[in-house]
Structure formats: C-alpha cells, structure tokens
Amino acid sequence: MGCSQRVWRYWWCFCCWYSGKNKDTEGISCPYCLKKGENTVEKLIAAEHLSFHYTDEEGKPASPEILKDLTLTLEAGSFVAVLGHNGCGKSTLAKHMNAILLPTGGKMWIAGIDTCDEEKLYEIRQHVGMVFQNPDNQIVATIVEEDVAFGPENLGLPPEAIRERVDDALKAVGMYEYRMHAPNQLSGGQKQRIAIAGIIAMRPSCIVLDEPTAMLDPKGRMEVMKTIRMLNRSYGITIVLITHYMEEAAQADRVIVMDDGNILLDDRPEEVFSHVEQMKAIGLDVPQVTELVYELRQQGIPLDSHIISEDAGVEAILQNMA
C-alpha cells in the first residue's frame, strides 16, 4: 500500500471514528471500516444464484431472463473489468450493484446488506456510486464545483464539509483548476472526470463505471482510465469497469466475461485473454498485441500466449528473433 493510499485510508477511518459510525454497519461509507461485529467485510459485493427478468404491472415476466443463476464475489479494493457483447447482461448486473434493479431470483449483497431490504437502500447507495456512458446525463449544474457539491449538499452536510469534499474530489481527478468553469466548455474526457468527482465527493466504497469511455476520443479515454487507475491504486476504491475496449480491461486485476446472462470466464486478464478462440466465438476481441501473438503462434513461432501489453509483446518477439 502506497503512502498516499495510507493517508487516504487513515483520513477516512478517522472520519468514521469521529462520527461514531465505525461501531456497526449503520451509515458507514468508509471502505476500510465495513464491519460486522469484529470481522472486516472483505467481500464488498456478492451475488448468489442471481437471476433477473423484467416484469409487467402484475408482476409477471415481461422479458426473457437477462441474468441466469449468476454467482460471484468482488473484494474491497479490487479493480474488476466486465466484458461481453451487447445484451449479455453487463449493464443489468451493474444496476444490481447499487439496487437500481432488484433480483427476481437469488440474492445480491452490498457490504453484507441484502439489496431487497428497502430500509437499507440509502445505505447501499452510499457504498456504491455509478458513472454512466454519457457524462452530460449526470452533470446538473452550470459551474463545475457546484455540480460536484450537489451530492454532498443532498446529504445535509455542513458547508465546510461540503467545501472539503468538493476540493478533495476535484484534486483527486485532476480537475481542481477547472472548478469555476462551465461544464459545457470542457472536453468529453474532462466532463467524465467531473462526473467521477461528483461520485467521489459522496465517498463511496465502490464506483461502478458503465462504459464511461464509449463516447470519448482516444485522449479522453486515456484521461479517464488514468483517473480510474489512480482511484483504485492510490485511494483503494473498489472499481467495477464495464467496457468494450479490451486494452482498458487489460489494466484491471480481474476480468469477468459474460455471455447470455452467464459468467463465461473469470480470471486474471492474462489468463482470460489467452482464450482467443473462445473470445472470438462470442464476438469479442482481445488486445491487439494478444491478437498478434496469437497469429504468430499459429505460424509456429513459440511465444507466450499470456502477453497482453505492448512492451511485453515487443520484448518477447525480439528475444525470439535473437
């Protein structure tokens, strides 16, 4: 754990201690103080035999099953990418992670709380924040700092606490110098970072990002991914990234591949992307360097099938040529 991550952790834990909220699970937003009794909650998100279909006004099924008997756990502090073709259930799963949608079968827990417990919905949504594809759909103010302050204001925090949260969040995403700008004057990548800052200001344990770079140019995607990695590595925030970009998924610690409402693959990026033919069979690509290595291996060149970075690919090819 790096120095900045320790500072963030201790600050968050101090806030929980000072407010008296680290005594039980009621009202906790600190990812390091999630406790039940004396046991720290390591499994921040858990689904057990989770199923979902839309229902009509009478509660009868109005769609085929979108999620099918899905079981998984996500540990606090992890960085998980979720892949799959359109309609496979990625976004539906994401919406279960902060109780926008509720299971029609099985269970979903956030920090040990059953999402079907209506009395706990507010607490669940304090744990998990969501960032969507189009930042314009999440920006609600005409000045950047006012937009970031919107969430904390609705928590009823005192002005000095709101000021602190807004400044901390904008500095975390590298947008503090733009705090007095109008969001409509910013680039797509900058807008998305403002949307992320608005979530950070709520101090969640986890941020779920549903294709946050889909509408951005390459520079904007790079800016947002840099911010996402920093939030995970420096601040210890759990990240769930839903994406169609394989190079983005390769930066995660864990990759989950979904197909037709089920989990097809779930492992480290190096292992998942080594299954090139299986990925192609469901209409997904792999990182370009992995595709190159695969084609060279097909020609009989002995290269490691687990290569997912350009640097590793270049090094392996040069060593093979030596």
Residue 296 confidence (pLDDT) above 70: yes
> Residue range 296-312: average pLDDT?
94
Assign 322 a pLDDT band (cuts: 50, 70, 90). Answer: confident
Tokens of 115: 């999402």
CB 264 within 8 A of CB 282: yes
The reported pLDDT for the residue numbered 21 is: 42
DSSP of 222-283: HHHHHHHHHHHHTT--EEEEE-S-HHHHTTSSEEEEEETTEEEEEE-HHHHTT-HHHHHHTT
Query: What is the value of pTM for the model shown?
Result: 0.84
Question: What is the rounded CA–CA span in Å between residue 130 and residue 208?
Answer: 5
Average pLDDT, the chain: 88
The residues spanned by each domain of the chain are 78-100+118-268, 287-321
CATH number attached to the domain at 78-100+118-268? 3.40.50.300
Q: What ranges make up the beta strands (E) of the chain? A: 35-36, 39-40, 43-52, 67-75, 79-83, 105-110, 113-114, 128-131, 206-210, 238-242, 254-259, 262-267
- pLDDT tens figures, 107-124: 999 999 999 999 999 899
Assign 22 a pLDDT band (cuts: 50, 70, 90). Answer: very low
Residue 102 confidence (pLDDT) above 50: yes
Sign, CA dihedral 180-204-259-100, equals negative
The reported pLDDT for the residue numbered 43 is: 87
Q: What are phi and psi of 81, to 5 degrees?
A: -105, 140
The reported pLDDT for the residue numbered 115 is: 96
The reported pLDDT for the residue numbered 42 is: 76
